[in-house]
Structure 1
Amino acid sequence: MSYLGIDLGTSEVKLVLTDEDSNVIASTSARLRVDNPHPLWSEQAPQSWWNATLDAIAALRTQAPQAFQALRGIGLSGQMHGATLLDRNGNVLRPAILWNDMRAHAECVELEALVPDAVAITGNRAMPGFTAPKLLWLSKYEPAVYRAIDKVLLPKDFLGWKLTGEFVSEMSDAAGTLWLDVARRDWSERMLGATGLDRSHMPRLVEGSAVAGQLRDELRREWGISGPVVVAGGAGDNAASAVGIGVIRAGDAFLSLGSSGVLFAATAHHAPNAQQGVHAFCHCLPGQWHQMSVILSAAASLHWLSGVTARPVAELVSGAERLSAGQQAQAPLFLPYLNGERTPHNDAAAKGVLFGMTPAHESAHLAYAVMEGVAFAMADGYAALQAAGTTLESAAFVGGGSRSAFWGVLCATALGIPLRRHAGAEVGAALGAARLGRLARTGEDAASVCIPPEVLEWYRPDAARQAQLQRRLAQYRRLYRSLADEFIAFSQS
């Protein structure tokens, strides 16, 4: 038997095929395009997700035809929060509004006014990236689209519908909509009603490791699969990454530097800290929850610098690594708020800042500033988790940024906890999805399946740099506080 994990990211769809022991047999990916029709808007065509998935499946079948024929379970992972809208005939009404779209900031205030105890229900402050405020925005500015809505799906659940013909979601992804009562793991009629919706507009809910449906017979025949295939509920991208890296017990954690930055901590109960922008969501496994601190521009900040300096990311990182401690101390400070910020500020108006520039600064200083600024933002996130009662002994280090040992040590030193890099971390969410497909098919105990991959390297806090980084972190925090009002004024000008 084999199992397929499909991870629908923002920039690509990634697929992994595993054997019955969760060893990766083959993997592939297909690129996606993001459209930005207006400043702070971010959209994708849902059909492009399906087309990319079909292309990737064709490539995977070519790589491992016999293993694919033995497919018995599929798990889905995906970018969270995206509003994917269908009419009663199953037609997509408009491009999906994505997680990093900031247009609905005013509607966040409106939503919390409509439901004064919204934070108590959802465990989270309303943020523009979440799904519910997007629907309030649509009701005002695209009323014809809004009136035609029959189903609101999250991105991975759109793929699930295409695969099974059923409208199904699961707890970890649904928790990011602001329509879920997170402690009760069920839709909240009050939160739905505040956006003019009810349960009929929502997919039914299952746990991520449960069966959501069966692969449609026509797809099974077309792909040459020899037997029935279950499709699991799946998970939001970070919960799936947690399953892939073995973060399933209270106290387990990972730090991810992808386009966004995430510090994810598994918890045994619902433990919110909404005031500081901590996401308190359901985990994708029954009876478990998690906390997340989130920054919107982690590795994306380094790619931004690569674009404006016309230097490859690898060259920038190499330059930063060669700086002495004294040169690092003289580098500018960078606030990585290129797309606003979530934890701990919940500030859609925040902007990226390079502070302290002089003619002596070169691209290496800027690269160091960006990497350090992202590490400081993650340290702010950990402080918010600590305020919610979470203390970590260590964390897995995943995402594209985990390829840099220098960045790993920088983050470990800023947070004050060791980080560990695991084998296969680059396919974590897709591997986690495949594991959920396996659990849905076999009913095995999650602890026996969701084990951590081999540890390749540890990145420990650098005691020699601790004092210098703490001084610069204090400056970094003062800089945001001094500019917070200016960010708002700049956005309104």
Structure 2
Amino acid sequence: MKYVIGIDLGTSAVKVLLVNQEGTVCFEVSKEYPLIQLQSGFSEQDPEEWVKQTISALKDLVNRAGVSAEDIEGISYSGQMHGLVLLDARNQVLRNAILWNDTRTTKQCKQITDTLGEKLITITKNIPLEGFTLPKLLWVKENEPDLFGKAVTLLLPKDYLRFRMTGSLAMDYSDAAGTLLLDVSSGAWSTEICEMLDIPITLCPPLVDSFDMVGTLLPGVAREIGLSGSTKVFAGGADNACGAIGAGILSDGDTMCSIGTSGVVLSYEDNKNREFHGKVHFFNHAKGSAYYTMGVTLAAGFSLSWFKSTFANEESYENLLSDLGKSPVGARGLIFTPYLVGERTPHADAMIRGSFVGIDANHQRADFTRAVIEGITFSLQESIEIFRRERKEIHRIISIGGGAKSDDWLQIQADIFNATVLKLENEQGPGMGAAMLAAYGCGWFDSLEACAQEFTRVIKEFQPNKENVGQYEELYSVYKEIYPATQSVSTELYKFRNSKSN
């Protein structure tokens, strides 16, 4: 039996999977690393921690799995998007990486908008947000000019990790699309954006496809891990693109709902000229010559974990979610908005905050639990509504992440989305997508679609209940009124909190 390894470089930990030719995860190891938060709004990591913990995880994987090194044919990567890593002329890291969830760059986002206007959406298909790479680069240029002057190459997190393991400098299209420096239609770095913002285009590394072989392991790395020096290494992709591959989102109309800390609704797109006018993200897929459109709820699973830790800290998630069946559709007129850390889609608003609306003396904890779950799902429905408004057909949705662990929540998704929701047998997210890229790159399959047929298996379907769909449509209309009604209140409270914390 032959094997591949998928490496998922996340925000808080790296997870490595050993996957065989049947798509079975034979072994997995996870290693954590810390965030560096020097002040409010800052979120950084030491790239050396990624390398150290990944090498450690791979050593554990190889030592404990009992598989011959010669039988492990390939490695590929999934990585947290948008994080800025800057290298000097000797390929040494110049500063800590600035991560996707760093919010210091509001000023730079305005600078991009003022300088480029509609050109940015025309070229990159996206609007400037604090999470993207380009605003971070401009922040370094403005606030650390001496350091910026030493920068020769910019990379994203998984690209730096791969460079340290292979010596190859490159970036794949799916991650490059999240920098705001890629001309999505032409598939090249945008000379126009770089010139208008006075950024050397030479900072941008060579572009490759996610399934391209970029080299083999460096001899020292191979020895330390216990792998063969001939192990093939493939470029890999952005975590959302790899998550889509791992869920089999590989043809037009395929849609995925992923609920982790944040929530993502992602839909496959093969038309690079499709226009969403910046209302949702539009990125290159890790599958060649393909794209995906994506809406994001910033505090999806995080809203549930906040609710649990605050009101049911001693209980398991399973016990808490058993409340869903004790409260009817609509939680007896109670609505929750999951804006605990601001919102992304459709409201790019860092100051909006969450709320429970309609609290009655008769409401019980089960109603609050159901309201939280329904509110998270309503927020995700706002992305699906945008897709459908642009005439995208969405009938079947594969649900992964924490939202797929509860059958009651899956039924709520089917009813609110008014679509068939599918549950997978072995849902491993981006790490599986990375393994599939390696499997395809090694020639195990003649297409990613063929790989997905073998590696992904649906075990359960949830059909929308017509009566529930009607009730949710009525309640969803009310939900959408809450954001504009509370926006100014949230802004004033945001100012109050900041004034008291200074």
Q: What interval of TM-score do these two structures reach, taking the shorter chain for normalisation?
A: over 0.9
2 CA distance for matches of 1:406 and 1:326?
Answer: 11
Cα 1:94–1:368 shift into 2, 3 Å: farther
Q: 1:295 to 1:54 in 2, by over 3 A?
A: same
Secondary structure, aligned partner of 2:412: helix
What is the identity, as a one-letter code, of the residue corresponding to 1:342? R
Structure 1 residues 416 and 168, CA gap change in structure 2 (3 angstroms): same
Number of equivalent positions:
491
Aligned equivalent of 2:183? 181
What aligned pairs does 1:55-66 form with structure 2 within 5 A after superposition? 55-66=56-67
Partner residue in 1 for 2:155: 153
Aligned to 2:394: 392
Distance 2:473 2:482 in 1: 14
Is 1:472 matched with 2:475? yes
Q: C-alpha distance in 1, partners of 2:20/2:329?
A: 50
Counterpart mapping for 1:373-412 below 5 A: 373-412=375-414
Amino acid at match of 1:373: G
Paired residues of 2:325 and 2:408 also in contact (CA < 8 A) = no
Letter in 1 for 2:474: R
Which one of the candidate residues 367, 370, 373 is aligned to 1:371?
A: 373
- Tell me if the contact between 2:331 and 2:368 (Cα under 8 Å) persists in the aligned partners: no
Distance 1:36 1:413, change over 3 A: farther
More deviation, 321-330/278-287: 321-330
After TM superposition, the structure 1 stretch with the greater mean CA deviation from structure 2, 360-369 or 121-130, is 360-369
Query: What CA distance in whole angstroms lies between the structure 1 residues aligned with 2:218 and 2:304?
Result: 42
- Specify which of 275, 289, 298 is matched with residue 296 of structure 1: 298
Q: CA RMSD in A?
A: 2.2
Q: Distance in 2 between matches of 1:389 and 1:418?
A: 18
Shift of residue 356, structure 1, vs aligned partner: 3.0
Cα distance in 1 for residues equivalent to 2:40 and 2:73: 44
Tell me, what secondary structure is at the counterpart of 1:238? helix
- Alignment of 1:104 with 2:94, yes or no, is no
- Match for residue 224 of structure 2? 222
What CA distance in whole angstroms lies between the structure 1 residues aligned with 2:147 and 2:337?
A: 37
SS of the equivalent of 2:376 reads helix
Task: Note if contact 2:257-2:400 (Cα within 8 Å) is conserved in structure 1.
Answer: yes
Partner of 1:432: 433
Which residue is 1:125 aligned to? 127
- Using the TM superposition, give the Cα deviation of residue 102 of structure 1 relative to its aligned residue in structure 2, in angstroms: 2.1
Q: Which moved more, 1:158-167 or 1:18-27?
A: 18-27
Answer whether contact 1:277 1:342 (CA < 8 A) is retained.
no
Segment of structure 1 superposing worse, 117-126 or 184-193: 184-193
Secondary structure of the structure 2 residue equivalent to 1:73: strand
Distance 2:413 2:236 in 1: 30
**Distance change (3 Å), C-alpha of 1:68 and 1:244:** farther
Overall identity of the aligned pairs, in %: 31
Closer/same/farther in 2, CA of residues 7 and 195 from structure 1, 3 Å limit: farther
Q: What does residue range 410-449 of structure 1 map to in structure 2 within 5 Å?
A: 410-425=412-427, 427-442=428-443, 444-449=446-451
Between stretches 394-403 and 313-322, larger displacement belongs to 313-322
CA distance in 2, matches of 1:24, 1:361: 44
SS at match of 1:439: helix
**CA drift at 1:194:** 4.2
Aligned-pair distance for 1:176? 0.8
Cα 1:466–1:491, aligned 2, differ >3 Å: closer, same or farther? same
Q: Does the 8 Å contact 1:81/1:173 carry over to 2? A: yes
Task: Report the Cα distance in structure 1 between the residues aligned to 2:93 and 2:366, rounded to whole angstroms.
Answer: 46
Cα 1:387–1:108 shift into 2, 3 Å: farther
Q: Are the structure 2 counterparts of residues 316 and 381 from structure 1 closer, same or farther at C-alpha, using a change threshold of 3 Å?
A: farther
> Normalized against structure 1, the TM-score is what?
0.93
The answer (yes or no) to whether the contact 2:81–2:100 under 8 Å persists in 1 is: yes
**Candidates 249, 252, 259, aligned match of 1:257:** 259
More moved, 465-474 vs 255-264: 465-474
User: 2:328 is aligned with what amino acid?
Assistant: A
Q: What's the secondary structure of 1:176's corresponding residue?
A: helix
Shift of 1:270: 1.7
Q: What secondary structure sits across from 1:60 in the alignment?
A: helix
Gap change, CA 1:190 and 1:219, over 3 Å in 2: same
- The C-alpha deviation readout for 1:192-231, integer Å capped at 9, x for no partner, is 3344323321221101111122211221233333451221
Contact preservation (8 Å) 1:123, 1:272: no
User: Is the Cα contact below 8 Å between 2:125 and 2:278 reproduced in 1?
Assistant: no
Counterpart CA distance in 1 for 2:296 and 2:126 is 13
Once residues 365 and 87 of structure 2 are traced to their aligned partners in structure 1, the CA distance between those partners, rounded to angstroms, is: 47
Q: Which moved more, 1:305-314 or 1:9-18?
A: 305-314
1:481 equivalenced with 2:480 (yes/no): no
Q: 1:32 Cα shift? A: 3.2
- Distance change in 2, residues 1:313/1:382 (3 Å): farther
Code of the aligned partner of 1:456: I
Q: Deviations over 1:105-146 (max 9, x none)?
A: 232121022122111000011111111111222223333433
Q: Residue by residue, what CA displacement relative to the aligned partner does 1:360-382 show, whole Å, maximum 9, x if unpaired?
A: 44443332222111100010010
For residues 21 and 203 of structure 1, the distance between their equivalents in structure 2, rounded to whole angstroms, comes to: 35
1:328 match: secondary structure: coil
- Gap runs ≥5 in structure 1: none
Of stretches 9-18 and 271-280 in structure 1, the one that deviates more from structure 2 is 271-280
The alignment partner of 2:27 has SS state of strand
**Structure 1 residues 303 and 313: CA distance shift in structure 2, 3 A:** farther
Tell me the equivalent position of 1:84: 85
1:488 deviation in Å? 3.9
Q: Normalised by the size of structure 2, how large is the TM-score?
A: 0.92
Cα displacement string for residues 387-423 of structure 1 (whole angstroms, at most 9, x for unaligned residues): 2331212011111221111111112211111110111
| Separation in structure 2 between the aligned mates of residue 32 and residue 377 of structure 1, nearest angstrom | 30
Deviations 1:422-473 (A, max 9, x none): 1111x12111101111222328332222326121111222333223322221
Partner of 1:75: 76
Partner of residue 210 from structure 1, selected from 202, 209, 212: 212
CA 148–21 in structure 1, closer or farther in 2 if over 3 Å, else same = same
| Contact 1:170–1:233 (8 Å) recurs in 2 | yes
